[in-house]
Each structure stands twice: as structure tokens, then as C-alpha cells.
């Protein structure tokens, strides 16, 4: 079908299916594969058919030229609480580029207010644009910029801050906000919320509006931050249907599904609350929590040393000593191992047929004896690192590996390790900090 139109052209086509002829209208996209034609439907989904299935097609017009216009000023109610909306990018602030079919981060913050007018009845919004970044491109230097932006927001009188963020590393940034503001024992002056969406705002199934409404409502009306578990929170859909959004502790979250709307879960602890979205407007339903006294309000957050480098390794049959040795030789500040089960590494050779295991044990022993920082977390979704149960776990402790007893999930553990190294890179200091429950990432009530 040599005359198939260029990407971005609106088309109507008739295709053969097992049930007979079927008609579809959409926008032509680049082919999804050999001998396929692909279109994007008006609901945002893509369809592909073998070229031989296409009975006929018709170009129904050219896409109108879009003119970028500055958004009109939005009048807001001065009596409402001030909430800063800090925009970093991601699907929650994106549109579909119909010339390519790709989701591109190109919403301006003001467009979010226009797209979700309910926000204007909840809070007085000040939009701040830090960038249009996909979350997998975010580095610790960007955590620092977000921490600084939250500090400036509170200095300007904001009662809460909402950070819009791509979902793939949202849980890491949430942990960074938590450790930055409360890792040293304080609390932020107001509420900090991170939220994202799994589906772009111009799709009918988008979760962006409800997530934004819930996040802004919590930022404006939630309980006072104590600095424990609630220093930063993640708000996404609690279920795959509409009407309820979970408020999760930013220090203990994990993205556990790549595409579902309820992509996030709290690990080794429950949610803080839910924001219910009914016909009468949002309302907060708190979970039963251990009472916490509010910590002293921090004047400013602690920043991360963005020169810190951490090498991560997965414990399995392909973990070899030369990989670890390379990181040590390159001067990485710490090694973080994602151990199997209770936190184990392949360091034993009971059959005398795997000398690479012995090499790894000897390398780690020398590294730790020389003051190197080697931390282990568990690959399992729930449960503690428990190195007292099996002999190899006791060996890992004896050679100086850190991590026994921790409930901190891997993402939060990476951020906690970076936070501790930013304060003091010595083995003893990191080990002491690792055993502590700094802000709810390692709750004693669960450990005991």
C-alpha cells in the first residue's frame, strides 16, 4: 500500500475482520511493524492491521495548524490556601504528538489549571516550572532543585506543595524529599505531595485529573506534617477504578506495575489515608496510625551531595567478583546489593565447583575490612533483611556488610544510603545510620 498517507494525516479506513468489515477513524502513525498500517483512535489507543486487511481508506483532511498562544491569566480565589504546583514533567503533564504517536512532555503548568478547573476551588495555585523531564532522566541534582523549590514555596507562604513527576522514579524522588526534610530529625513547614499519572491527560482513561485533584486537596487540607512517614507522600489511584486515591508514605513506596493506574504500593506498612472523590467534592479518610508528635520544624532541607556514586548489583548466578572489583577500582562511594530472599549473596561453595563464589566473598571481606561501605537489601517485595537465620547471612555480617534487620524497600534504601553518604562516607557512620529509623522507613513496630 504505497499510497498510505504520512503520519499525522486523519484517515478513515475499512478493514476485514473475522466478524466482517469494520470501519475506523483516526490519525495515521508510523507503522508498528513490517507490512502493518497503524492509526491512533480518538480515544488515544493505537490500532494496527496487516496491509492486506485494509479494504479501502480515505484521507479526511489535514490536521489544522496549531498556534502556540500564551494562556490567558486565570483568576483565583485569594481566600483559599496557597499551594505551589511544581512541574518537573512526566505523563501527568504530557500530550500525544499525533504526527508520531508518541507521548511528549509539553504541557505548560498553566495548562494543567485550565485542564482541571476543579483545582481552582480547592486552593490558590502558583505554578512553578522546573523542567519537562522524563523521570528516568532525573538525577540527585534534580532532587536538590526540588528540595530548594519546596523551601522557596514555604517561604512564600504556601501551606503545601505538589510536585508533578513521571511515575517511573517518582518513588525515589518522594524518598529524597522525605530524607531531605526529615532525615535529620525535623519536619517540613507544610505538606509535600508527589503525584503522577500512568496515562496522558488527553486519553479518556487518564488518571491525571483525579490524581491532581487529590494531591492538591491533600496539600491544602491534609493534617499537619509530623516529619515521620508523611514528610512526602505519593498520591496515585488506590484501585484501577475512579473515585479514590491513596496517600502513601514517600519513604516506603514502590512502583510495582508498569501500566496499571494503581501502580504504587507502600512496602512493609500501610497507606496514610485515602482521598475520596464524591459528588460533594473531595474528602480525606485517615487510616488508623500510631500517634506521632510533630518534630521541630526545619528551617531548610538537607541537600544531597550529587558527587556521591553508588554501584548497584543484583544477587543471582551472574554476580561475579570482577563486576564488583571494577566498581571498587572506579572509586564508587558504596556498593548496594539486592540480595535474594532474606538478603543473601552467592558467596558459598558447598560443592567445591563454584570458585567464583569464594572470590566474591574474599573481595567483599577485603573491601569491608578496608572501610568500604557494602549494604544489602532484599529483592523480595515485603519483609526484612534477616541475616541471622542462615550461616551465609552470618558470614555477610562478620565480614562487615550492612543491612541486617532493615525493612527499607530498595528504592528508599538507595536514597537513604545516598543521604547518609552525603553526611559522612565512613563505614561506621553509615552503619549507625542504617540501623536507625530516620523517618518511618524502618518502623520498629513492624520489626518487632
Residues that are catalytic: 91, 167-168, 255
- What gap in Å lies between CA 72 and CA 79, rounded to an integer? 21
Q: Cα separation of 339 and 309, whole Å?
A: 20
d(CA 28, CA 37): 8
CA dist 77 and 122 (Å) reads: 9
**Helix or strand (DSSP H, E) at 83:** strand 82-87
Cα distance between residue 250 and residue 105, in whole Å: 24
DSSP state of 121: G
Beta bridge partner(s), residue 162: 85, 193
Whether the Cβ atoms of residue 235 and residue 215 lie closer than 8 Å to each other: yes
Q: Please choose, from the candidates 313, 297, 304, the residue with its C-alpha nearest in 3D space to the C-alpha of residue 375.
A: 313
C-alpha cell at 45: 489507543
C-alpha cell at 146: 526540588
Q: CA dist 108 to 75, 165, 178, 316, Å?
A: 17, 13, 26, 44
Q: Could you say which DSSP state residue 34 is in? A: T
Could you give the 3-state DSSP secondary structure of residue 195? strand
Spatial distance between the Cα atoms of 307 and 310, rounded to a whole number of angstroms: 10
d(CA 335, CA 367): 10
Given a contact cutoff of 8 angstroms between Cβ atoms, the answer to whether 25 and 42 are in contact is yes
- Cα 35–Cα 37–Cα 42 angle in degrees, nearest 5: 165
- Rounded to whole angstroms, the Cα distance separating 383 from 340 reads 12
Amino acid at each position: 500500500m504505497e499510497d498510505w498517507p504520512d503520519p499525522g494525516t486523519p484517515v478513515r479506513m475499512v478493514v476485514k475482520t473475522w466478524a466482517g468489515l469494520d470501519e475506523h477513524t483516526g490519525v495515521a502513525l508510523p507503522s508498528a511493524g513490517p507490512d502493518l498500517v497503524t492509526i491512533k483512535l480518538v480515544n488515544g489507543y493505537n490500532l494496527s492491521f496487516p496491509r492486506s486487511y485494509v479494504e479501502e481508506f480515505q484521507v479526511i483532511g489535514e490536521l489544522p495548524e496549531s498556534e502556540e498562544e500564551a494562556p490567558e491569566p486565570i483568576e483565583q480565589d485569594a481566600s483559599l490556601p496557597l499551594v505551589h504546583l511544581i512541574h518537573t514533567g512526566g505523563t501527568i503533564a504530557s500530550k500525544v504528538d499525533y504526527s508520531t504517536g508518541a507521548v511528549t512532555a509539553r504541557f505548560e503548568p498553566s495548562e494543567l489549571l485550565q485542564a482541571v478547573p476543579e483545582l481552582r476551588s480547592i486552593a490558590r495555585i502558583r505554578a512553578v516550572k522546573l523542567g519537562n523531564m522524563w523521570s528516568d532522566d532525573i538525577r540527585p541534582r534534580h532532587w536538590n532543585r526540588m528540595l530548594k523549590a519546596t523551601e522557596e514555596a514555604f517561604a512564600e507562604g504556601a501551606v503545601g506543595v505538589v510536585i508533578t513527576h513521571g511515575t517511573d522514579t517518582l518513588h525515589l524522588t518522594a524518598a529524597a524529599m522525605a530524607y531531605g526534610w526529615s532525615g535529620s530529625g525535623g519536619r517540613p513547614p507544610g505538606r509535600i505531595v508527589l503525584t503522577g499519572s500512568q496515562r496522558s491527560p488527553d486519553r479518556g482513561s487518564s488518571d491525571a485529573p483525579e490524581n491532581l485533584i487529590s494531591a492538591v486537596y491533600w496539600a491544602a487540607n491534609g493534617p499537619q506534617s509530623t516529619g515521620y512517614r508523611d514528610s512526602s507522600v505519593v498520591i496515585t489511584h488506590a484501585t484501577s477504578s475512579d473515585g479514590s486515591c491513596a496517600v502513601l508514605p514517600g519513604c516506603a513506596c514502590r512502583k510495582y506495575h508498569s501500566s496499571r493506574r494503581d501502580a504504587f504500593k507502600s512496602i512493609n506498612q500501610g497507606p496514610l489515608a485515602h482521598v475520596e472523590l464524591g459528588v460533594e467534592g473531595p474528602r480525606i479518610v485517615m487510616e488508623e496510625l500510631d500517634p506521632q508528635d510533630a518534630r521541630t520544624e526545619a528551617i531548610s532541607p538537607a541537600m544531597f551531595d550529587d558527587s556521591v556514586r553508588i554501584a548497584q548489583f543484583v544477587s543471582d548466578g551472574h554476580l561475579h567478583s570482577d563486576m564488583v572489583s571494577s566498581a571498587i577500582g572506579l572509586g564508587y562511594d558504596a556498593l548496594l546489593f539486592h540480595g535474594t530472599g532474606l538478603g543473601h549473596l552467592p558467596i558459598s561453595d558447598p560443592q567445591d565447583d563454584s570458585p567464583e563464589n569464594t572470590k566474591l566473598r574474599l573481595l567483599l571481606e577485603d573491601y569491608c575490612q578496608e572501610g568500604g561501605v557494602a549494604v544489602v537489601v532484599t529483592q523480595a517485595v515485603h519483609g526484612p533483611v534477616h541475616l541471622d537465620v542462615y550461616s551465609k547471612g552470618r558470614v555477610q555480617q562478620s565480614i562487615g556488610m550492612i543491612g541486617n534487620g532493615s525493612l527499607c524497600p530498595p528504592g528508599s534504601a538507595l536514597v537513604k544510603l545516598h543521604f547518609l553518604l552525603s553526611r559522612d562516607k565512613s563505614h561506621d557512620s553509615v552503619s549507625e545510620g542504617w540501623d536507625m529509623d530516620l523517618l518511618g522507613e524502618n518502623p520498629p513496630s513492624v520489626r518487632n
